[in-house]
Structure 1
Amino acid sequence: MSKLARATFGLMVATIIAKILGFGRELVLAAGYGTSIYSDAYVTAMNIPQVIFAIIGSTLATVLIPMYMEVHRDEGEEGSLKFVNNVFNLVVIGCIVLSILGFIFTEEIVDVFAMGYEGEALQVAINFTRITILGIVFTGLSYVMTSYLQIKNDFITPGLSSVPKNVIIIVATLLSIKYGPYIMIWGTLLGMVSEFFIQVPYAVKAGYRYVPIIKIKDKYIKKMAWLIAPVLIGVAVNQVNTLVDRTLASTLPAGTVSALNYSNKLISFVIAIFITSISSVIYPILSQLSNENNKERFTASVIKSINCVIILVLPITVGTIVLSLPIVRVLFERGAFDARGTSLTAMALAMYSVGMVAYGLRDVLGKIFYSLQDTKTPMVNGVIAMGVNMVMDVVFIQFWGLAGLTLATSLSSLACIMLLFRSLRKKIGYYGQDKIAKATVKSLVASLIMGAVAYYSYHYMMLFANTGGKTEFIVLMIAVILATAVYGALVILFKVDEIRIVTDVVKRRLKR
């Protein structure tokens, strides 16, 4: 697991760099446009291609890795390269068709994603979306390059691929404040294009060579298509949940969609750094072990990956809930982002955080099933959870508004995790249930104690400081560092095995 730990740590560092820039992009948007019609329209325009490719692209990447392993085993390096290029060329054709359809039916698509928009807000959202939808081809190809690089054990390049995109968008957003909001959306399109091209040289270095091949009747493409359908539905479920949340949020007062977006970005920041890093590294390994029928090592990898998510994300969950208001105030409250925006975003963030562990475990558990070439189980469980989410959305929004939407998402995600764990037991029998339960209890106790330390230390120090500005930032950082130290000490005291992965990597880095 030391190789896994090093790869995961490296990807985490790369992801932190990329996500800090991505978060900086959100800060610039918040400061420049606050919770206005332009920020709402921009979020909607960005969300439409993201939803399309979170569905199609994630599905493609999920199925491509285990299929590549199978092709490489059967056909060797030359055959697997032809397979990747076949997928590449088919993606180009499919994305061009989607882009044309999206451009023609933009108004209808925006009406689905934001049914509460009207007047100027609707027209701006339509105009913005017509521009971003042109980048669909490059986004799709970026997923293919990411998968290929991960197969070749290059996790750093995909992790950093969004850096130039975010830099371009930040510059464009700053310029748009002075020269008009359309500068921001054209810069976003340019950033989407750059995310693909930055990966190409590294893929070539890893062995990729372009081959002009299109073979729809290839047996591996046929099998891939058969596997894709359930994954497509399973991934689409998550995006439908997001779509329902945003659509219902558009019926609430102006700025609610932006507040939902900012809180979601904060959660996504944590997920990308910790969970996506773990699942991206573990997935090719699980696929290979499954292909080799190595059950003992497969089970050990499952335990390690699940427990790592739990011990890393549980304390962040508790900390975010108890400190949601100061976190949002320190990060966002400046420029056009006022106290109302802070209150809305903090409320949404706290409710989203309830399901943070579930979001992470859903990703990892999904990868476990996909590595076993079982794409139906995550789909079925996801559809059930989606139904639960929709029902709770409609009910909860009547009583708690935005908080109800985000709480419904968290509770439905927790329900999905329970279903996935039950299905995993039926699928492979023992997967380390006792070890996972033990690590969960220890981490939860440590997290609750840590949460109390974070809450009371922050509020005690704030008695002697001013709200907002650098002073509150320093107080918040001190509270977070103190709480982290307490949590670290407790999990070591409780002898949580997976903490050794983190400490071993840190020790090696310090020695270097």
Structure 2
Amino acid sequence: MTLLSRFLGLARDVIVASVFGAGGHADAFFVAFKIPNFLRRLFAEGAFAQAFVPVLSEYRTQRDLNAVQLLVNRVAGTLGITLLMITLAAMMAAPLLAALFAPGFYLADDERFPLAAEMLRITFPYLLLISLTAFCGAILNSYERFAIPAFTPVILNVCLIGAALWISPMMDPPIMGMAWGVFLAGVMQLLFQLPFLARLRLLPRPTPGWKDEGVQRIMKLMVPALFGVSVAQINLLLDTVLASFLQNGSVSWLYYSDRLVELPLGVFGIAIATVILPALSRNHAEKSPQRFAATLDWALRMILLIGLPAALALIVLAEPMIATLFHYGQMQDRDVLMAGMSLKAYAIGLLAFMLIKVLATGYFSRQDMKTPVRIAIWAMAANMVFNLILVWPLDHVGLALATSLSAFLNAAMLLHGLRKVDVLQWQPGWSKVLIRNGLANVAMLAFLIFFRNSTDAWLQMGLWQRIEQMVLLVMGGMLVYLCVQFIMGLRLRHLRA
């Protein structure tokens, strides 16, 4: 389901790039969408989910269904009221938020700033709607109902595709149709999940519960988790702030390249972290450190198995992928080259982005929020330093590279912390895993480099020729990688936790 969602997200971005390109209007929409989307990841999928799931898992393990229902009701009421107040305040202060998160638009005094502020008033309620959707999804995940929350983003992508093709032509300017598509998606995603909660007999009946013991525990865990789980998103938002000062199109180039990195990150990195969080939380509640360590070790092996070849392939095939997916309509040759450079910089950090998702889960499942916060602060400070050093010589590429470098620092510190308290214990067989992965990645790289055409050749190809060549490269690279893995001893049993 996550794979389907991500591929539809890719189709959405292809259509948006074709219709709107990488100009000023596209920049304004991406800012108006990124602000509530960033806060959604921060509050909902990030801090809230990581604080809520361990507490809910504990209630499920140690208490009856009535206690779980009461917790769900009070969390829904408290979360709903809080987000409603934030949403109303943000809609009234939309120009201020646009100036804060895209100061370059404001100082340039062109059409991008008022357009971004106007669209932000339409898109910001998405935060309220999608946060409640994520709350429902966290309950379903806790009960091992992973498919429905994973499928829900498909609705967002369908709505935005529909908005680009059918709503935008009726709007003036057309880009406003995309903002209404975001709002519609939030409503439909929330309504979609409610029947599945009803089947579990956990349909929320929102009741404010500020003084409830479970709610207070979640809030205490959530505050530090705001930093701990969402450093990568904060760094990406800082990239947008600085990119608003750069040449026209910089925000869009970073957006398109980030979207390609998000494909493997979401399909595998976030999906694995989502699946192991309830299991790790139960292992901790049941005081089973051996199973906890084994589950975490398995997740790291899966990240290495998938994340490293994905990162290397994105680096080698950056411009061909951008050209194949986005080089149509309003997307120009220069846009492909610029987005390709930032894609390479983001891809360098893909393995670290994935590791952060899994390693942070090792802390949150144990209700340890303070350690990831300290690490997150160091990583954010490092990212800002890297940004200031790299943005001037490398422009938007420097922003992407800074994010990748800070992600490696974050992942290394998280790993060291888990090893220090002996929560992460390496299971037997790692030397074979490293040798097998190393040889398979070298073979895959050799195949891709040998058969890849030049960037100029890709820009001259027609649509179907690009698709044919890309399919051959991707499928061939995967086949070479998997064959070497199999020859070196990888079997299906190694993929099971």
User: TM-score over 0.5 for the alignment?
Assistant: yes
- Report what 1:60 is aligned to: 48
- Structure 1 residues 85-94 or 162-171, which shifts more? 162-171
Distance 1:31 1:184 in 2: 14
User: Cα offset for 1:209?
Assistant: 3.1
Residue 19 of structure 1, CA deviation: 1.6
Report what 2:113 is aligned to.
122
Equivalent-residue separation in structure 2 for 1:229 and 1:403 (angstroms)? 32
Aligned to 2:3: 16
- CA RMSD between the two structures: 2.1
Cα offset, 1:199, TM superposition:
0.7
1:204 matched to 2:204? The reply is no
Instruction: Give 2:289's match in structure 1, choosing from 263, 280, 295.
Output: 295
**2:58 matches 1:38:** no
Correspondence for 1:384:
378
* 2:68 aligned with 1:84: no
Q: Distance in 2 between matches of 1:301 and 1:261?
A: 34
Quick one: which of 115, 132, 138 aligns to 1:141?
132
- Stretch moving more, 371-380 or 324-333: 371-380
Q: What percentage of residue pairs aligned between the two structures are identical?
A: 27
Aligned equivalents of 1:475, 1:454: Cα separation in 2: 11
The normalised TM-score by structure 1 is 0.91
Segments of structure 1 that go 5 or more residues without pairing to the other structure are 1-13, 506-512
Structure 1 stretch displaced more, 201-210 or 39-48: 201-210
Secondary structure of 2:421's partner? Answer: helix
Are 1:165 and 2:130 an aligned pair? no
Amino acid at match of 1:75: R
C-alpha contact 2:323 2:458 (8 A) present in aligned 1 = no
What is the deviation of 1:500? 3.7
> Distance between the aligned counterparts of 1:337 and 1:464, measured in 2?
14
160-169 or 92-101: which moved more? 160-169
The alpha-carbon deviation at position 280 of structure 1 amounts to 1.1
Contact 1:149 1:158 in 2 (8 A): yes
1:484 is matched with: 478
- Residues 299, 68 of structure 1: CA spacing in aligned structure 2 closer, same or farther, 3 A cutoff? same
Paired residue for 2:233?
239
The residue that corresponds to 1:224 in the other structure is 218
Task: Provide Cα deviations, 1:432-455, integer angstroms capped at 9, x if missing partner.
Answer: 177556524531332132112112
- Structure 2 gaps of 5+ residues are none
TM-score normalized by the length of structure 2: 0.94
Q: 1:472 to 1:136 in 2, by over 3 A?
A: closer
**Paired amino acid for 1:86:** R
| Residue correspondences, number | 490
Partner of 1:421: 415
What SS does structure 1 have at the residue aligned with 2:144?
coil
- Name the CA distance, whole Å, in 2 between partners of 1:245 and 1:134: 24
* Cα offset, 1:124, TM superposition: 0.4
**Separation of aligned partners in 2, 1:480 and 1:291:** 43
Aligned to 1:150: 141
Structure 1 segment 45-444 matched on structure 2, within 5 A: 45-57=32-44, 58-117=46-105, 118-180=109-171, 181=174, 182-428=176-422, 431-432=425-426, 435-436=429-430, 438-444=432-438
Between stretches 305-314 and 236-245, larger displacement belongs to: 236-245
Tell me how far apart the structure 2 counterparts of residues 368 and 84 of structure 1 sit (CA, whole Å): 24
The answer to whether the Cα contact below 8 Å between 1:461 and 1:475 also exists between their aligned partners in 2 is: no
8 Å contact 1:64–1:224 — kept in the other structure?
yes
Q: For residue 213 of structure 1, report the CA deviation from its aligned partner.
A: 2.7
Q: Distance in 1 between matches of 2:209 and 2:146?
A: 29
What is the distance in 2 between the residues matched to 1:218 and 1:119? 49
* Displacement after TM superposition at 1:72 (Å): 2.6
CA contact (8 A) 2:58 2:285 kept: yes
CA distance in structure 1 between the aligned counterparts of 2:178 and 2:388, rounded to whole angstroms = 34
Match of 1:9 in 2: none
Alpha-carbon distance in 2 for matches of 1:402, 1:438: 39
Distance in structure 1 (CA, Å) of the matches to 2:459 and 2:156: 38
Instruction: For 2:51, give the aligned amino acid.
Output: V
Q: Helix, strand or coil: the match of 1:307? A: helix
1:445 matches 2:418: no
CA distance in 2, matches of 1:209, 1:397: 48
Query: Offset of 1:463 from its aligned partner?
Result: 8.1
Query: Given residue 2 of structure 2, which amino acid in structure 1 is its aligned partner?
Result: T
For 2:488, the equivalent position in structure 1 comes to: 494
- Structure 2 distance, partners of 1:20, 1:465, is 23
Judging changes above 3 Å, is the alpha-carbon distance between structure 1 residues 454 and 213 closer, same or farther for their aligned structure 2 residues?
Answer: same
Alignment CA distance shift 1:484-1:128 (3 Å): same
The yes-or-no answer on 1:467 pairing with 2:452 is no
Shift of 1:460: 9.2
